Chain A
Amino acid sequence: MLVRKNVWELGGDWADPILWYARAVGALKPKPISDRTSWRFWAGMHGYNQGLWEFYGYKAAKEKLPAKADFDEFWQQCQHGSWYFLPWHRGYLIGFEKLIRATVVSLKGPADWTLPYWNYFKSGQNGLPPAFGSPDWPDGKGNNPLFVEQRWGPDPKKPGKVFVPLNAVNLDAMGIHEFTGVASGGDRGFGGVDTGFEHGGTKHGDIESQPHDQVHGLVGGEKMFPKASPRPLPGLMSAPDTAGLDPIFWLHHANIDRLWQSWRLSDHRNTDPEESSWKKGPASHGKHQFVVPLPDGSPWVYTPQQMSDFAGVGYTYSDFSPAGTPLAAVASATAAPSGAATMAKSTGAAVEVVGVSAKALAVAGNGAQTSVPVEPQMHAKVASKMATTAAPGAREERVFLNLENVRGYSDATVLQVYVHFAGKDGTPSAERQVGSIGLFGITKATETDAGHTGGGLSYALNITKPYQEFAGSANVDLANIGVRLEAVAPVQQSAEVSVGRISIVRQGD
């Protein structure tokens, strides 16, 4: 069995698997873009942006793209803001790992090479693995193919110092038991919303919203190039159209892929969708099928159903604990037969708006803040539901903060989100962090008429806990529930980042 291992625990910065990865990447990078087994062809399968690719030197102005048939079949397939996010990326990784392994073998390397994963949550491992951060090979010679110049990290004052700030990411998604959720403002589910026919791709699922999006932006960062653009330009990892060009992309996604299986192992309720529209993929909606080339160039078509069968995918991970500490709940995975104990589907659960601030909130510099007025009747409803224990089979009351129609041109931006409940008499109360949002994909979602509607992205953050703390208090000023966004790195004015609407929404029976 092929085992994907922790990149920080391979036994040295330049342990064999990393060295062979570097050699293979070095062999694939010079191949023509149009070659199905080239480095850049694989990046283009995730996304492509002519301006950025040419500006960063990943494509010469005169260089030919893949022929139209190949372009249409393979390129720009990445699934975001959809319940296909996890299965599409799993197949993409499998195809990529096969290509690297075949290349390693052709360079006389080991036939059991596997893609390492980067578990930034494990203690002491949130830094970029050193082999990726050095422009040199271990012998001190330059030209290390794992090194990427356009990987600036979370702090613009220290470009190139790459790490994942742990206060900006969390594993809250692992506690969600439904794979798919609602599009109307409640929980989107671990894997994302059933995008059906109205495929918008603007509502990222829980594991995609956190930590996937943040890690992209925090690692890639952004930089000003005043001569090229008034707006900041994203690091390769920060935008979907360039992310696949960075060798660290694959280690990040291996971790997300690992978390999918961790989630399934951690609780018997955590199961993949049974709907045939998920299992058979977007082809069942008349949309593009999932397809990647094999090392010999022939196309391999795969479905979410195949990706969901973990025993059949041909690899496993050395460790399934999300943060590197043992899984507590593994035992319960076998306690109940799967299927028999499926949860009551949340189909009957109502999603209702509790309060709205509809003034667009511009986000620049260190952040922005506003307040959301809450409807007294709706608040009373939430408070009373929270005060009583839910009847058996009923859904517990949950409250979400929705950041809707978030638009702008800074994919690297990560915003810490805080809520705070003030007293009527002006007594301030403690502010609570309720998570963070990463604007990965925001530029594409903002542009109109380029295959998107231009309405921006929207986010739903669970604020049940802080809301519950104050729900019963008669002193809370319902007209002023504070929401504060704090940028991890300063947001450029020219990036025009704004939140179109902020709402508080309840979900329950």
Chain B
Amino acid sequence: MIWQFFTDHAPLLFGALAAFCVTVYVLADGLDLGVGILFLAAPRNADRDLMMASIEPVWDGNETWLVMGGTLLFAVFPAGYYVLLPAFYLPIMFMLFALIFRGVAFGFRLQATRFRFVWDAAFAGGSILATLCQGMILGGLVTGVPVDNGMFTGGTFSSFTLLGLLCGVGLLGGYGLIGAGWLIWKTDGPTQVFAREIAHAALILVAIMMLLVSAWSAWSVPEVAARWFSWPNLILLAPVPLVTLAVIASIWRGLWRGADARTFLLSLGLFMLGLLGLVVSLWPYVVPRSVTVWDGISDPQSLAFIMAGVVLILPVVLVYQAHAYWVFRGKTGLADGYGGGAISTKA
């Protein structure tokens, strides 16, 4: 009975789980990628030190959701894994190279003295390149990938599309906004002022790009246009863009006002709306326009094994990730990162 329900609804359950993991990844790593995107724009070295210290304790946990996404795809929707990964070979590889440079910059930057700018550039460049690559992948997903006989059949560069580029620039603005919101929350003084200023630029960029990406995907991909503009979808889906507009206006109005966490939380909301739009455009495909969540799902016995782990372990994971944020709550000080760390003499 329960087994029957589980096998019947597994595609929906795991589709939701995948969407959840992607959302957590984008929001969590979005904030530290965003800090990296803004890194070189910060006026002083002191700002950069503080910016990095604010994300050092949590970036590793955030990035783990990227691994979670990959392994979940492999385990639950394998078609998505073995078709999409070769399809996005170059964007994925360059994203990985970018994340490598970005990741080691955390440790090496503080050790470096004369050549610290090299690791500053590695951190910022890595964050920007990784974001652009993610945009490429996103754009490619909306456009769709050529598949024949269950395998990817396109060329090496078929994922390089105009839509991908637009998405990449949009993500730069979006992550930049989340990063700025995070800094407004976690810092004060000159660094916070810088974050408030640059948040305006990021907000303008993300608003323009959201509009462009939506218009271009509706115009260039007929399936997307059909999804949004058919009746009664037009009415049912209208709240998505309207609420998005309201959130953008609210962020703009609140940048110099209200609680320090406000911009961050609202920009997370903005991102979730963008992801919702994406889900609407792509549902129910794992591999766009060729493999659906119903066709592409793993064996029931594999799914049951996974479900047990997810139900038992994922809540615990979320609790101790939240705990890690809680331990480092409050405004960031300079001694909080890799450079700090006096051991408490309390027993």
- A and B: interacting chains: no
